[in-house]
Amino acid sequence: MPVCPNCGYEYVKGMTFCPDCHEALVDENIFLKPEDWTEENWEVVYTSNEEYEINMLKDNLEGAGIKATMLSQKDRNFPSPGDFSIVKLLVKKDDVQDALNFIQSYLNQPDKDEPEAE
């Protein structure tokens, strides 16, 4: 089965170029996923329906030395009222507890724009 070396998507036999990346497809036996990026090595630590919120947390985690990635399941082809899609923040399984502690402390910080209660 052909695979795109850029995005990693698999295609049916007969396809020669990735329609998204415009890269030439390679045989799946040639294409090796880096071990680091297999699903078994990652775990969801936070979900939201807003990409900006996940991106903000991802950037902060990476700034703290915790490798993170985002999985968006938004479908922009079919806009609808409300937001029914989920965006997930994933970290390596070795970093789950550190990431959860970081996210908890980050979300519990007082907002600088709000006046302090007396």
Task: For residue 117, tell me if it sits in a domain.
Answer: no
Task: For residue 118, tell me if it sits in a domain.
Answer: no
Give pTM, 2 decimals.
0.62
Please, which contacts does 66-75 make with residues 24 or more away whose CB atoms are closer than 8 Å? 66/91, 66/95, 66/98, 66/99, 66/102, 67/91, 67/92, 67/95, 68/99, 69/42, 71/44
Bridge partners of residue 27, in order along the sequence: 2
11 lies in which domain range? 1-32
pLDDT attached to residue 43: 94
Residue 24 and residue 45 share a domain: no
Read off the pLDDT band of 34 (50, 70, 90): low
Residue 60 and residue 108 share a domain: yes
- Say whether pLDDT at 79 is over 90: no
- Say whether pLDDT at 51 is over 80: yes
Residue 107 and residue 64 share a domain: yes
**Counted domains in the chain:** 2
| In the block, residue with structure tokens 């079919």 | 78
